[in-house]
A and B are shown apart, each in its own frame.
Chain A
Amino acid sequence: NAGVTQTPKFQVLKTGQSMTLQCAQDMNHEYMSWYRQDPGMGLRLIHYSVGAGITDQGEVPNGYNVSRSTTEDFPLRLLSAAPSQTSVYFCASSPWTGNNEQFFGPGTRLTVL
């Protein structure tokens, strides 16, 4: 099992550009989520999905879109990048049963100039 994979590892964008952060998991987990991590702010939930075709907003959804067409993939789209979106982005997945353990990917470090 590869677990949760994220691409790219690093990205530099200019203000106004768009891009998609990729996330995939091979554990057949129903629940997937996106977080951003900023110094002094901890992990903040952007969007989450409880299954294919179902998504919902988290704490800081503005400026981001998600879709979930398959169980495995949960891409995060930045529509028009802003410097405030400079952050480290983590994707996580969790099974439907058991404890609340969320399995995190290695992260994408995004800089918006």
Chain B
Amino acid sequence: QKEVEQDPGPLSVPEGAIVSLNCTYSNSAFQYFMWYRQYSRKGPELLMYTYSSGNKEDGRFTAQVDKSSKYISLFIRDSQPSDSATYLCAMSATPAGANSKLTFGKGITLSVRP
């Protein structure tokens, strides 16, 4: 079993839909959870960052972490065509510093239809 599993997709939704993207993980040491967004032919960029369990909201985006279930989610409200991208979850057991290696999910490609 891979350390991080992500729904394979692709996912296509109409504009305005609520999107739910999910990852599960097996390493209970993970405490730092991130979502990266990657537009076509570009490098990934950090979208959301959370520490331990709980929710974090930033505009139309909400990141949710459930450590007891080893499950994280990213919700996108009122999805826009500009949200069309690949979304990768990433996790780490340590904060920034010498051992801040990230383990990534495989990514899911989202397409928002106008």
- A positions within 8 Å CB-CB of B: 4, 31, 33, 40-45, 48, 50, 58, 90, 92, 94-102, 104-107
**A42 lies within 8 A of B43 (CB):** no
The verdict on A107 contacting B49 (CB below 8 Å), with A42-B106, A100-B96 known, is no
> Quick one: closest A residue to B2, CB to CB?
A42
Q: Restricting to B66-114, which residues have a CB under 8 Å from any CB of A?
A: 88, 90, 92, 95-98, 100-102, 104-107
Decide if the interface of chain B is mainly helix, strand, loop or mixed.
loop
The verdict on A104 contacting B44 (CB below 8 Å), with A42-B104, A42-B106 known, is yes
User: Which single member of B44, B51, B96 contacts A43 (CB below 8 Å)?
Assistant: B44
**A33-B101, A90-B44 known, 10 other contacts, Cβ within 8 Å:** A31-B96, A58-B101, A96-B97, A97-B97, A99-B51, A99-B95, A100-B49, A100-B90, A101-B34, A104-B45
The verdict on A100 contacting B92 (CB below 8 Å), with A41-B106, A45-B101, A94-B100 known, is yes
The residues of B that contact A100 with a CB separation of less than 8 Å are 32, 34, 49, 90, 92, 95-96, 100, 102
The residues of A that contact B88 with a CB separation of less than 8 Å are 42-43
